Amino acid sequence: METKDAIDCLQSLAQETRLAVFRALVRAGHRGLAAGDLSAQLAVPPPTLTFHLKTLAASGIIQRRREGRQQWYSVSFEQVRALMDFLMEDCCQGSLEHEGACATEMACCATVAPRRMRVLFLCTGNSCRSQMAEGWARALKGDCLEVWSAGIKAHGMNPYAVCVMAEAGVDLSAHTSKTLDDLDSVVFDHVVTVCSNAHETCPVFPGAAKVTHTGFDDPPALAADLEDEEAKLAIYRRVRDEIRDYIKTLPEALED
């Protein structure tokens, strides 16, 4: 990080409301908060909040994305780590005279956790398979993966997918169906296509994003002609468990 960038970050935080916004977003984790929820939580009027969010975003300390009609904000943990690295670059100046004071009393030399791998699960409508993958990845691999899901189009959440994931202890009820345009501010490390259509129409992503195809059966298509609800659910449960088993292989399977 350059000195000017560090100053911009620190200046953006040097105001009571903006600091409160930043801390609320830190508590919210990598998913962040919708602007309306953030306004209600902090009791800050939307116009005032918008001003402060723009200031924070301009410094790069937080990032914005669109999900449907809502604007979401989250902390750019990569930028925070870069700022901390800049501030602590000359810690102890390599001197041994402190006799371990930094490591024990001040703890200023603590190791910063590495950035989590950013993974997008992509399918046709972001209603079923990619949503399951996102849910499982958040539940099982949240310590090492930062995950999103999207579709070539947004078809809305599949209620059967929400149901069978809830049976397994993963709540998708707050998820929304998104397209790539809703995530245009996110730079991904890996894109995993979970259906053939998404793989065949997968766009070119900026940066060094690696695209991997891992296809799964389409539960809505397989269950379309079935009348028995249990028979339908059995299909969704099978695909749910297959996706879970795949997610358990990450991130190693993506690094091969």
Task: Tell me whether residue 195 is one of the annotated catalytic residues.
Answer: yes
Active site residue 102: no
Tokens 């065949």 correspond to 200
Q: Do 170 and 99 form a contact (C-beta atoms < 8 A)?
A: no
Which entry of 91, 92, 123, 128 is annotated as an active-site residue?
123
Q: Which of 102, 144, 163, 202 is catalytic?
A: 202
Look-up of token digits 């389409």? 218
The CA distances from residue 182 to 36, 149, 179, 186, 192, in Å, are 17, 10, 6, 9, 17
> How many residues are there in the chain?
256
Alpha helices in the chain (DSSP H): 3-13, 16-28, 35-42, 46-59, 77-87, 101, 129-141, 159-167, 196-200, 219-223, 229-247, 252-255
Distance CA 19, CA 60 (A): 14
Tokens of 81: 């780590």
Q: Which residues are known to be catalytic?
A: 123, 195, 202
